[in-house]
Chains A and B, each alone.
Chain A
């Protein structure tokens, strides 16, 4: 996967490049909008990450030019301005998503995945991670052959983590996806819910599947599998 970053802030560009490279992307980065536009038009990128506030030609103009040249490369906007008008403008110009600074890197990764996945991929009916088995159709989960007694919300939480296996999910994203609470809050609700889920899914077993990434969120993965 080839990603182009057009961002004039050096630190932002540097950590984005580093983080994305480490997540398996091939990254090109530029701090000049004209150069970025040229690369986007001529290169073969799967995604462009575009800062709105650029010196000289701004992000709006860059995306307009990209679209005018007939390229339908997905574009993800980054901006420190988040008025509704700005969002609407970005989406009208053909942006695929919009992230407001400051954002969590995990959030960015999640959005990138969702943009690149947009062509619907058929979800398997049964997810298997190590000895955990989740039947999405019947709303049943088993571990080591034994059924887990989960509440509906706990099941939703577990299947979210399982579907996005290996991806660190932020608390905000989890609250959005599981409870439809579309706002950031200072509450520890997600932490408590994950703790309770662990009590049922992980505590009775030696191998732990749900992991905390401090300050970021939660991830479900089989560490041994990853190492192996």
Chain B
């Protein structure tokens, strides 16, 4: 659950990395401390051994000097107790710090190499007494090098022919035990502190992680706040990409684009509602008015009949409007399916022409059909589209004019169906909106009372259903051409297509 929020993830990752760094650095410091203490202890022991070796070598037979030295050192450095034992070549203890034998037996010490060098080999070991006290143990040999004059005497004697025995070298083994419990205590304290530091560190880095993640996410929150402010009435507001960090610019831009589209649709929708209300108002007003007037006094039967007939006409208008609106609404829903079949396009436009023949003749407008093509479309919808176009063309074409219906197979396997007239044309300013619902180019002129201004919107939605397009070209006083362009629809695409042309 925590992982599902970006803040949560950032916090966890930040805390882990900060804590990791902290652990690494404390481990490093701990190691440095331990090795520092070890080095110090070793140096101390080596130092001691050097001093003792020195004393011994200067005066091999004087134990008292050694004892003196040992005593002196003990009193001087009481804080760091150590024990010294001196053994002869055969392993007999010559002298030792008082009480040492009770604690550390000579056999516990490592056995150093038998060399006369002053160079001390690294042979110290750690040992824990039965009481639990830790000691650092080290042993080293010391040799008495024969004095210069003694050697010379012997050489002289040898040259003179005296029998000289081999020179007996004196050796002593120094064993030193350093009580390192202070070190251990120090390390234990240090370790405890490090643990506390680590515990505090993880808490602190978690807290810092939360703060950092929150801070990092703050622009996102602000975007959310800005977005939340936008309601249906404030769709003109934009969240302006420039205000935001780089990462959010793409989001802000996309969001603004979406707002643009929404505002557009929203405006269209409210325009549509207003138009719808307006279109409903007229017939309903007629109905109310006529009924009211009719009922205001006694009428003849014929008058009542007249009112009823007139209201029936209005109801018919309303009912057709509802049908058209439902048609448009259904065409917009995504799951609307159309039933295509293969048609002879010329026959279809000819049928529509025949339907309008009487109207055209009455108006003195000549309607002709031309071209040839095969179409894979919904036959009812196709006729409806062409019928709406022809009906419009006839309305706007004066006596003596011409309307041409034509079909054409284009090079890219599309079929174009166009309806052109020699009528009054449409002002260019109206063209972009001509396919909107209820939009009428001649809103002011009411000389063409037919229809509710949904005809072209229906044509457009029929084309949308077929995946086609509709284009309009018009020149005032010269005429208008509307072209429907049906894309090539293969049989596989359309499923059950009856192969027989209707």
A interface list, Cβ under 8 A from B: 82-84, 102, 104, 151, 153, 175, 179-189, 192-193, 195-196, 214-216
Contact = CB atoms under 8 A, between A and B. Distances in A.
8 contacts: A82-B326, A179-B351, A183-B380, A185-B320, A185-B391, A186-B451, A188-B359, A215-B311
B359 A184 contact: no
Given A186-B451, A189-B356, A215 B351 contact: no
Interface string B129-160: 00000000000000000000000000000000
Which 5 residue pairs spanning A and B have beta carbons closest together?
A215-B312, A214-B309, A186-B451, A179-B355, A193-B358
Contact of B384 (A179, A183, A189, A193): A183
A153 B357 contact: yes
Nearest to B455: A186
A179 B351 CA distance: 7
A186 B320 contact: yes
B198 to A, nearest CB: 68
B316 interface: yes
Given A153-B357, A187-B391, A215 B309 contact: yes
A86 to B, nearest CB: 12
Interface string B276-317: 000000000000000000000000000000001111110111
Nearest to A212: B309
Contacts of B316: 104, 215
B75 interface: no
Interface string B354-376: 11111101100000000000000
B355 A182 contact: no
A214 B380 contact: no
B313 A214 contact: yes
Interface of B: 308-313, 315-317, 319-320, 322-324, 326, 330, 337, 351-352, 354-359, 361-362, 380, 383-384, 387-388, 391, 450-452, 455
A184 B313 contact: no
B425 to A, nearest CB: 21
Interface of B is mostly: helix
Given A186-B317, A195-B358, A215-B316, 8 more contacts: A102-B315, A102-B319, A104-B316, A179-B351, A186-B320, A187-B391, A196-B358, A215-B308
A216 B312 contact: yes
B450 A188 contact: yes
Contacts, number: 76
Contacts of B455: 186
B387 A185 contact: yes
Contacts of B323: 184
A36 to B, nearest CB: 27
A215 B452 CA distance: 18
Nearest to A171: B316
Contacts of A187: 356, 359, 387, 391, 450
Nearest to A186: B451
Nearest to A216: B312
B299 to A, nearest CB: 16
Contacts of B315: 102, 215
Contacts of B391: 185-187
Nearest to A103: B319
Contacts of B351: 179-181
Nearest to B322: A102
B452 A192 contact: no
A189 B391 CA distance: 9
A137 B131 CA distance: 133
B313 A215 contact: yes
A150 to B, nearest CB: 12
A172 B359 CA distance: 16
Contact of B359 (A83, A102, A186, A192): A192
Contacts of A192: 358-359, 362
A181 B383 CA distance: 7
Contacts of A153: 354, 357-358
A214 B306 CA distance: 9
Contacts of A82: 326
Contact of A186 (B322, B361, B452): B452
Nearest to A180: B351
A116 B324 CA distance: 31
A175 B355 contact: yes
Contacts of B357: 151, 153
A185 B388 contact: yes
Contacts of B354: 153, 179
A171 to B, nearest CB: 9
Nearest to B317: A186
Given A183-B384, A185-B387, A186-B451, A215 B310 contact: yes
Contacts of B311: 215
Nearest to B319: A102
B358 A214 contact: no
Nearest to A84: B337
Contacts of A104: 316
B450 A186 contact: yes
A196 B361 CA distance: 10
A141 B250 CA distance: 76
Given A185-B388, A186-B450, A214 B359 contact: no
Contacts of A196: 358, 361-362
Contacts of B330: 83
A104 B318 CA distance: 12
Interface-central residue, A182, A187, A192, by most chain B CB under 10 Å = A187
